[in-house]
Chain A
Amino acid sequence: MIGVLALQGNFDSHIKILKKINLKHKLVKTSNDLISINGLIIPGGESTTMTNLLRKNPSLVDGINSLAKNKPILGSCAGLILMSKESNDSRVHNFAFLDVITSRNAYGRQVHSFESRINVKDGSMKSDIEVLFIRAPKIDKINNDVEVLATYKEEVVAVRQGKHIGISCHPELLNETLIHEICFKGKHEVS
């Protein structure tokens, strides 16, 4: 069973992907919802909004921090920003599950959002997948122990540290399951 943080954002498109790869899901809005889950998705949305709602609920923040000690967390877009150690916006909460520095809305406003293919590489597995970049962030700096999982042109767009994965764009909006499979069915198989 995978939890999907449902404070705000595109949690329902992530649920669609979990169904597609035969994983059960549960919406997470409070710390009680974290009981009996084997992983968590932090979806896209507005990181300021999610921060605001997280700060009103310290027990949820604590619960996510302890879950992250031994269960995989996948963050897309705003989820990546929240998972990063540091971002260019000091108002936004940083869980610091990924030792990276991110910058918000780094490609510009919505008229600069776009669809593209990204190159995913996990060990010997290589694959191109379709994604949407929606007012997407960029990963500006990667520190030790962080692996590059996907690139777009020369830029790093997905990273992994331990069990956790962060991605700056949205494979889930185009029904691509690969990243979710790597996170929840790959090296760290969960049920």
Chain B
Amino acid sequence: MSKESFKVKVGLAEMLKGGVIMDVTNLEQAKIAEDAGAVSVMALERIPSDIRKDGGVARMSNPHMIKEIQDNVSIPVMAKCRIGHFAEAQILEALEVDFIDESEVLTTADEHAHVDKHPFKVPFVCGARDLGEALRRINEGAALIRTKGEAGSGNIVEAVRHMKMITSQIIELQDADLSKKAEEFRVPLDLVEEVAKNQKLTVPNFAAGGIATPADASLMMQLGAETVFVGSGIFKSDDPSERAHAIVKAVTHFKSAKDVLAASYDLKNAMKGILMSDIPEDEKFSNRGD
């Protein structure tokens, strides 16, 4: 795939900046999300908190459900494939979803390799906990990086950890031996050099995993995220539509505490959330994929 086509993929990620991407499980939720000002919806059968609760193997969503949403909203529609499951990705591309999330929220299909994303026309977003992971995904062809956070937890702590880790590791590149870093990250030197020089990933950098309130969204934006994904946080709350509107407003005006306050003022209860210490290590979504 040529450099030009890669720019077309990153181009859509650029359009999504300063916005909120919302997980939705049916058409009704997709319409609520669009009406509230979502820049995109992620169509999936079960939101992460339910995947966590239900157990079993989590796969790509039923194409029929994705298609129904595509046919009825005008904003871009994303869908998830399992890590390494390139056949699911091919199906999602044939369905013409606008972005594929190769996601740790679904059960891993290949423990040794992610999807080779270069041959695809559809852009991919991938999760990362640190700079090495982000660069490996970009090197495989990801057009957008998001923090992994801990999906379905309603707990922002992991997204904060991952965003700060990536940011600090980019700063550290200024005084580092870049060849050693490239070796450590298992990516080509020129990619590391470009990130060191621009002090920025080569693709947009969004936040995901555990965002439940306007304040969480503002926090992630202030930490350097360019857009936020909200998964379980909206439709597991007591007031999905109001909360969706509020988080959209908080992202646009993230620097203005008064606006974030106004957005937060009349909301009911957020999702309950889970402490990281209550999730066994082997059940953490963020440990999937490297």
Contacts and interface: CB of A to CB of B under 8 A. Distances in A.
A127 interface: no
Interface in A38-67: 44-46, 48-49, 52-53, 56
Contact of A49 (B5, B19, B97, B98): B19
Nearest to B227: A8
B39 A110 contact: no
A29 interface: yes
B37 A49 contact: yes
B265 to A, nearest CB: 14
Contact of B7 (A6, A105, A111, A132): A132
B283 to A, nearest CB: 33
- A interface, by DSSP: helix, strand, loop or mixed? loop
Given A29-B253, A109-B96, A8 B4 contact: no
B137 to A, nearest CB: 19
B15 A10 contact: yes
Contact of B18 (A8, A110, A111): A8
Given A52-B36, A111-B93, A10 B99 contact: no
Interface in A105-144: 105, 108-111, 113-115, 132, 134-135
Contacts of A174: 7
A173 B14 contact: yes
B202 interface: no
Interface residues of B, number: 38
Contacts of B123: 110
Contacts of A132: 7-8, 11
Given A9-B15, A110-B122, A53 B248 contact: yes
Interface of B: 4-5, 7-8, 11-12, 14-19, 34-40, 70, 74-76, 93, 96-99, 121-123, 245, 248-249, 251-253, 256
23 contacts: A6-B252, A8-B251, A9-B15, A10-B15, A10-B17, A46-B39, A48-B34, A48-B74, A48-B75, A52-B35, A52-B37, A52-B248, A89-B74, A109-B76, A110-B96, A110-B98, A111-B93, A115-B5, A115-B8, A132-B11, A134-B14, A134-B15, A170-B11
Of all A-B residue pairs in the complex, the 6 with the closest CB atoms, nearest first, are A52-B37, A110-B98, A10-B14, A134-B11, A8-B18, A49-B37
Interface of A: 6-13, 29, 44-46, 48-49, 52-53, 56, 77-78, 89, 104-105, 108-111, 113-115, 132, 134-135, 170, 173-174
